[in-house]
């Protein structure tokens, strides 16, 4: 029986597949063209009455096809939205968990094509906490994800913490034993595991005692994306501008416009009417004019994409020019790493505090951590990675594959469980 390992991520997903009849560790397979990762996105194209996934989903939405784009699906698990339905276009609706199932089915179909037959066993990654400080909601989130996976044909499902999976990938490169803090910062969660690793330990089937501690917070890349959007493009639409009485313009519309899964709600007649009723508050008439155009032409997700590009452009230093010509010709603004770091300082502090809390709960001194292993797309933000590394002064900073380390580690774990 062919088995697989699935990294269902908030921003990107990957899948590792066993090669039948061989002792090899499951390898990552292409999920979109030659790409080994797939953006976790579904677009319900109502113009052509079909669903598309990944990069194609985002491209068709940006190209102006009518429909509904869904991203950050993982962040819905464990919340009140998980049991709700959402509009997908043409008056139709679908439960959020069923949409997650559609995406998992797309991943599994790629695995089955590659395997040439059924794939029914899987190790699936999960964050340390789907939901912070709510064990009941966290357990519900895993149950919802498992139910979605079973609905598409997976029968034997085992979960593993994503940062622990990343530790398995790191361990495969070592020739000595050490204590490593795995830092896995993705789109929705920042997860940390303190793990004892080494070449002799690889051969052990049971590794429970090597996991010294794990902790996490529901603050990560999408939160920083929101901070960047608010610090850049939203200011040109009137965020934190003052009204005629010197008060700050109500900011709910800007926070929603900076949040992927809330953007579409702004296009409802009710929310459009709410904005119309506050247009008179603005001192600068450019701001409500631009915002009205964004809502009328449904430019919200495109603007989040613009701010995400700005984040990436300055992630390792320097500055960039944010192009907002989609809203108004010749509209742009300067943006740099220092501005991003200031905007995201509160989120960064929470993430660093969670890293420290991991070692505290494990009873390990920060000075005794030998390595900090970074994985997850958001660890590419220099200001954030540097802040974490500074908290562990004796540790070597090691960069894993930002998008594939977890999937590779889940594959290693899947081989130990199912490869016998």
State how many domains the chain has.
1
pLDDT at 420: 67
Decide if 313 is inside a domain: yes
Taking only the tens place, the pLDDT of each residue in 247-277 is 999 999 999 999 977 888 899 999 999 999 9
Taking each helix axis from N to C end, the angle separating 286-296 and 269-276, rounded to the nearest 10 degrees, works out to 170
| Burial class (CB within 10 angstroms; exposed 0-12, middle 13-18, buried 19+) of 80 | exposed
Examine residue 261 and state whether it is found in any structural domain, yes or no.
yes
Residue 179 located in a structural domain: no
What three-state secondary structure class fits 150? helix
**Could you tell me if residue 130 is inside a domain?**
no
Whole-Å CA distances, 256 to 228, 290, 301 = 14, 16, 11
Determine, yes or no, domain membership for 27.
Answer: no
Q: Is residue 90 part of a domain?
A: no
Distance CA 357, CA 346 (A): 16
Examine residue 136 and state whether it is found in any structural domain, yes or no: no
In a domain, 318, yes or no: yes
Domain range spanning residue 255?
Answer: 222-343
What does 153-186 look like in DSSP terms, one character per residue? T--EEEEEEHHHHHHHHHHTT-SS-EEEEEEEE-
Residues of the chain with pLDDT under 70: 1, 20-22, 203, 205-206, 420
- Closest by Cα among 373, 5, 323 to 183: 373
Nearest to 100 by CA among 159, 50, 162, 143: 143
How many other C-beta atoms can be found within 10 angstroms of the C-beta atom of residue 117?
Answer: 11
């Amino acid at each position: 029986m062919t088995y697989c390992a699935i990294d269902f991520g908030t921003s990107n997903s990957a899948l590792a597949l066993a090669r039948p009849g061989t002792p090899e560790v499951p390898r990552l397979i292409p999920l979109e063209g030659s790409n080994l990762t797939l953006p976790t996105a579904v677009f319900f194209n109502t113009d052509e009455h079909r669903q598309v996934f990944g990069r194609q989903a985002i491209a068709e939405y940006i190209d102006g096809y009518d429909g509904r784009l869904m991203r950050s699906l993982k962040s819905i698990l464990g919340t009140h939205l998980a049991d709700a339905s959402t509009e997908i276009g043409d008056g139709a609706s679908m439960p959020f968990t069923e949409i997650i199932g559609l995406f998992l089915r797309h991943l599994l179909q790629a695995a089955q094509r590659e395997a040439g037959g059924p794939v029914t066993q899987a190790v699936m990654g999960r964050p340390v906490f789907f939901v912070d400080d709510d064990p009941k909601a966290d357990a519900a989130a895993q149950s919802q994800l498992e139910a979605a996976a079973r609905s598409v044909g997976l029968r034997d499902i085992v979960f593993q913490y994503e940062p622990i999976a990343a530790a398995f990938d790191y361990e495969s490169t070592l020739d000595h034993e050490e204590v490593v803090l795995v830092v896995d910062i993705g789109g929705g969660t920042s997860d940390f595991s303190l793990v004892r690793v080494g070449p002799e330990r690889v051969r052990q089937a049971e590794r429970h005692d090597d996991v010294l501690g794990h902790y996490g917070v529901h603050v990560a890349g999408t939160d920083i994306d929101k901070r960047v959007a608010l610090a850049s493009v939203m200011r040109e639409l009137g965020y934190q501008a003052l009204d005629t009485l010197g008060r700050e313009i109500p900011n709910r519309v800007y926070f929603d416009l900076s949040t992927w899964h809330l953007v579409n709600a702004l296009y409802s007649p009710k929310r459009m009417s709410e904005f119309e009723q506050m247009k008179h508050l603005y001192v600068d008439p450019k701001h409500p004019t631009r915002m009205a155009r964004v809502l009328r032409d449904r430019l919200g997700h495109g603007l989040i994409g613009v701010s995400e590009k700005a984040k990436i452009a300055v992630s390792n230093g320097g500055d960039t020019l944010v192009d907002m010509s989609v809203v108004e010709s010749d509209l742009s603004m300067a943006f740099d790493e220092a501005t991003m770091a200031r905007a995201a300082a509160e989120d960064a502090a929470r993430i660093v505090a969670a890293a420290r809390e991991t070692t505290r709960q494990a009873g390990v001194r920060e000075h005794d951590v030998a390595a900090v292993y970074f994985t997850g797309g958001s660890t590419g933000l220099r200001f954030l990675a540097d802040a974490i590394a500074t908290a562990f002064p004796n540790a070597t900073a090691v960069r894993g594959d930002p998008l594939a380390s977890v999937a590779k580690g889940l594959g290693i774990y899947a081989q130990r469980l199912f490869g016998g």
